[in-house]
Amino acid sequence: MDYSTITILIVLSLLLVYMILIYNSLVQLKHNVSKAWSNIDVLLKQRHDELPKLVETCKQYMGYEKNALEAIIKARSAVSHAQQDSDIKALGVAETQLRLGLGNLFALAESYPELKANQSFQHLQTRITGLEHDIADRREFYNESTNINNIRIEQFPDVLIAKIFGFKPFDLLEFSESDKADVNVSLLFQ
């Protein structure tokens, strides 16, 4: 073999190794987004399981507030459907409705001293508040992972590998303007 053939083989080998490194990096980013979504999914399921208990506890005291309770049940169902369909945009809308419903419910609870004093209600209120904070943290991590993935699959030379192997961008988990407003739901619990 002559010197030019060896040089070409070395350059091609280095190029192949570089492409493999890019591919593996993109795979890792894709799985980081999936992991971040799974973390959100776990918390949404936990909250999904707690909400019927909260509604049932409230029903005992808040018979006249049927609309507030029905709004939470409806929003809970919408969140569940969006989760099952992995529809990030629908989840954002449903989450907004659920958070507004919970805010309204806890605000209405202020008018029911017996309900506020109920240990079950207090426990559920604390549990759901904690889950809300955890969901917000995981949502931030998901959006960061998604953003990193989406940037990388558009950057050169990663875009070449991404197109060849069909890497796709992910949707950010976004919420309506009312959910972005600076509202401290925990104040409703005091």
Query: What is the pTM (predicted TM-score) of this model?
Result: 0.74
| Maximum Cα interatomic distance, the chain, rounded to a whole number of Å | 91
pLDDT in tens, 84-140: 888 888 888 888 888 888 888 888 888 888 887 888 888 888 899 899 899 989 999
Range of the domain at 134: 3-189
Give tens-digit pLDDT for 24-39. Answer: 999 999 999 999 999 9
- Alpha-carbon distance of 58 to 62, in angstroms, equals 6
The CATH code of the domain that includes 41 is 1.20.1440.20
* Neighbouring residues of 136: CB distance < 8 A, sequence distance ≥ 6: none
What letter represents residue 55's amino acid? V
Residue with the larger pLDDT of the pair 18 and 174: 18
Q: How confident is the model at residue 177 (pLDDT cuts 50, 70, 90)?
A: low
- Mean pLDDT across the stretch 54-79? 83
Higher pLDDT, 63 or 15: 15
pLDDT surpassing 70 at residue 150: yes
Q: Is residue 94 within 8 Å of 40, Cβ to Cβ?
A: no
Q: How many domains does the chain have?
A: 1
Write down the pLDDT at residue 180.
Answer: 44
